[in-house]
Amino acid sequence: MKKLIFATLFLVNHSNSLSQGLNHNYLLGYWPYGDPPWTTTGKAIAEIDSINFTIFANARVMKFLLTQSNISDSLGNILFYSNGGWVASADGDTMLNGEELYLGSNPKSYKDLGFANVNSQVILPYPDSSNKYILFHQTASLVNPSFSTELLYTIIDMTLDSGRGAIIQKNTIALSDSLMFGIYACKHANGRDWWLNVLKEVSNEIYTLLLSPAGIDTVFSQHLNVPIHRSWYIQPGAFSPDGNKFAYIVTKNVGNTAIPWVRDLRLFDFDRCNGNFSKVVNFDLQDTFPGIGICFSSNSRFLYTAKYFRISQFDVQASNIEASRQFVADYDTFYYGGVTDFANMYRGANGKIYITSS
């Protein structure tokens, strides 16, 4: 049984195979109850490296709802961060040209509080550049708020504005369609380029984009040979650290009063050379309550799924993955300013899994 470390964190969107230091800072959202160390600021940063976990207060203007992204330099010093509504430099002020990321036809409050869906941003180093980064971010519709309508990207050059960075290209459409919330990134087998993936709404398709030094030079879709999926307000999917597996969960209300929720787990092999998915494993999790989290272990062998009151472990190397299920944690009813159950899951740079409460 793998050991899980629990902490109350807001999920930080990330990508697989990030270099040393780039994903070591995690910005926590507003904490309203005023106990130390959040008494004066209401916000904090968790620093996680290969050895240490440190949390400290952080005076920060930016607020978060359910999504945020940040990236650091190779030494772990934060470079910039975003809540989906705007981009801040390391000093907390708005980055040059960093205001007004396009959110779609969302309420104006999203511009202040940020995007309200998990995994809807990811920041990547631009291939073959030591100073440029690319932020992928999704929009949503006020008319159809249950799914995304565009995948956008914004490019940041850290050599500008005296090293504070500046946006040189903003709100460019990479993909326009009805999309599920959630952006997934995996390093190409060549060690330089990146694969980006987004699931198509109310379908069994997934879009794949290739980011190379030339920009986005490949976009294609693939049928996954599974029942259709649709957006739900959960942490939908994850790549394994080695990039060879991809998994996502579909949660839907089937209207049955005895068992109203159905949760399907879909697991695939992923080819990091050509971007194709294969070898489908699909089964009903048989959970009678909706869940949120999903995350692979640091050695890529174990997959964890969280519903509010229980965490399950699956061995993805087992001959029968469904039968390998073990229940590794149950909510103990502890209450601290709110219910401390299980929600989003994040694998830190130290290889441990950190979990939010709902």
Domains of the chain: 25-355 (2.130.10)
Decide: pTM greater than 0.75.
yes
Query: Closest Cα to residue 80, out of 65, 63, 66, 98?
Result: 98
Of the pLDDT bands very low, low, confident and very high (cuts 50, 70, 90), residue 257 is: low
Tens digit of pLDDT for each residue in 105-147? Answer: 765 656 667 777 778 899 999 999 999 999 999 987 666 557 8
The Cα angle at residue 342 between residues 288 and 263, in degrees rounded to 5: 30
Instruction: With beta carbons less than 8 A apart as the criterion, state whether 183 and 118 touch.
Output: no
Instruction: Name the amino acid, one letter, at 210.
Output: L
Separation CA 287–CA 308 (nearest Å)? 10
Give residue 32's pLDDT.
46
Question: In this prediction, what percent of the chain has a pLDDT beyond 70?
Answer: 82
Tell me the CA distances in angstroms from 202 to 4, 14, 133, one per residue in order.
33, 25, 32
How does residue 214 score in pLDDT terms, banded at 50, 70 and 90? very high
Residue 334 pLDDT grade (very low, low, confident, very high; cuts 50, 70, 90): confident
- C-alpha span between 230 and 228 (Å, rounded): 7
